[in-house]
Structure 1
């Protein structure tokens, strides 16, 4: 049975509170007392309960990451970047998934406050700045991945979603496509920004942009949207599709190929994020690259910077730039 604080106290001939002070506030003990407790710990092989010690001290060497939808490949890369920075800095990292649920997002924030994490990174569903500012007043700093309202307490790491949508639109228009369908979620601000960029590219041209809203940015929703497109008469189908992420695009691609619709000859297809599956698909997918791993690392670095200097304002960050990666779903073979 592992040794306890009482065992150490008994062997050292001191009280349990003296052992606790040795572990948490050694400077208050006399040298003789410190030496007796140290020797007893060494003899018994006592290992302190770090979690309990941190809770008593009111702090912890832990960070938290709250993801919008942990099952999407983009978030795997994002979390890997955050985790690597945390580990390199000697921090532990807790993960949680909001699953695109406001109530679950609030519960996750409450949970990590109760566990007294030092800081957190969140890819939110809605406007979480007021809640994060409350946490900042209680000593918990935070970083949002994505756009936020102005705040002198909360940092953000941004990606140029509008620029990415504009790149996708300019690429499709340069190929002569004029009936462009956008598949996205109007409840996700990044999706709306990508649509705004697409519309910017189409402004002043003869191209028409139509929009179909999907319930979630998943492959399953892409399959459903793809089935609806296949069901249209050929002359009513779009000649290009821009999906708000790669998973929706891959679902659409699967349906098009199943029904003999040629990609890109009949319909050109562009996704967003450039996850690994984009280049692994039967017809490799043109995509807007969003560097999830690098964004995760940047978010982790910004959080650690705030923790190192709690009195400083959140650092200003230049948004990550979008990059068009052209593959066979638009360029052909």
Structure 2
């Protein structure tokens, strides 16, 4: 079926194409009666108004392509949420995995909006900012950085785990951080510490180590210092799986001898025995929220902007790897 044009409306109304255009765009120069007649004719003929240039262009999803195995499943969830929300709203998108600032610069020029995922370098961030294109970040931002950001509730998760484990009677709790230097892990640690500092009888211990075979030596060092934790909060599910498998191999009963809590609720959390108590990160909803936010910024472009921080609350998932604190702490030497 042929697309209805402004000329078609002009032919039906006997008006000039210019008058039709002014009527449909709301510009001055035509009477209100003429404007109503043009709009009624346009509706009768099935005329579809052309989308604004920002609506015609695609939103570009740029994922940093240097991703570790821990983050990969979360990135997949974020992508799924963004693309599903874009499809629901009829917004075209394109996807690029890169850390190349020059490639980003080329894509920014013809993008309606940008969603950046991951730890992009400052050069890339500067290019997006200079282009003036509406953008949203999924990944850590600097304190008070004037940029829209969607994230999770890492700090709250640490508090929730601390409250939960203390309520089960655990008093010596270790945070299995593994490799240090990741901001999300530190946020969870600080949340856990905030919870346990409310109780004089609770003690928090931080296990940092090379994640390639370093868990048992780190735990042994803790035991050698006279500290025997009865619960572990692991910085991510991968570390929790390592802890569970290593402890089971040494004769521990989980959770009878020690409780283990993870973070992420990724696929492996239910594929081990006992199944893992963990914090579910709502990655799909985070992606969808980022898409909604960038579309709002496009729709209100030109208006004053105050940067937003949108946090998507995680969910506590209790399974079989956690339980009440044992009456007697088990040491590796006893296993």
What residue in structure 2 maps to residue 100 of structure 1?
A: none
1:144 alignment partner, one of 113, 123, 137:
137
What residue in structure 2 maps to residue 91 of structure 1?
A: 92
Instruction: Report whether the alignment pairs 1:322 with 2:320.
Output: no
Instruction: Report whether the alignment pairs 1:194 with 2:192.
Output: no
- Residues 133-142 or 242-251, more deviating: 133-142
- Greater C-alpha Rg: 2
Structure 2: unaligned runs, 5 residues or longer: 1-16, 18-55, 325-335
Cα 1:156–1:179 change in 2 (3 A) is same
Mapped partners of 1:309, 1:136: distance in 2: 17
Per-residue CA deviations over 1:183-212 (Å, capped at 9, x if unaligned) read: 224322211111010001110332221112
CA contact (8 A) 1:86 1:93 kept: no
CA contact (8 A) 1:132 1:142 kept: no
**Aligned-pair CA distance for 1:146:** 4.3
2:273 alignment partner, one of 248, 267, 282:
282
Cα 1:240–1:261 change in 2 (3 A) is same
Mapped partners of 1:230, 1:214: distance in 2: 10
SS at match of 1:79: helix
Mapped partners of 1:60, 1:158: distance in 2: 26
Per-residue CA deviations over 1:248-272 (Å, capped at 9, x if unaligned) read: 1112112112222111112111111
TM-score (norm 2): 0.68
Structural mapping, 1:134-283, within 5 Å: 134-148=127-141, 149-152=143-146, 154-184=147-177, 185-203=179-197, 204-214=199-209, 221=211, 224-228=213-217, 231=220, 236-283=227-274
CA contact (8 A) 1:229 1:237 kept: no
What residue in structure 1 maps to residue 67 of structure 2?
A: 69
Mapped partners of 1:87, 1:180: distance in 2: 45
Per-residue CA deviations over 1:113-166 (Å, capped at 9, x if unaligned) read: 2233523323333785x85354233133321124533344x2111322111100
RMSD: 3.0
What residue in structure 1 maps to residue 333 of structure 2?
A: none
What residue in structure 1 maps to residue 116 of structure 2?
A: 122
Cα 1:110–1:63 change in 2 (3 A) is same
SS at match of 2:262: strand
- Residues 181-190 or 322-331, more deviating: 181-190
Mapped partners of 1:179, 1:162: distance in 2: 20
**Greater share of helix residues, 1 or 2?**
1
Mapped partners of 1:327, 1:170: distance in 2: 16
Mapped partners of 1:275, 1:255: distance in 2: 19
What residue in structure 1 maps to residue 293 of structure 2?
A: 302
Per-residue CA deviations over 1:303-331 (Å, capped at 9, x if unaligned) read: 22222333242563442223321111103
**Aligned-pair CA distance for 1:289:** 1.8
CA contact (8 A) 1:65 1:120 kept: yes
**Aligned-pair CA distance for 1:174:** 1.3
CA contact (8 A) 2:278 2:318 kept: yes
Number of residue pairs the alignment of both structures matches: 259
CA contact (8 A) 2:158 2:190 kept: yes
Mapped partners of 1:146, 1:159: distance in 2: 10
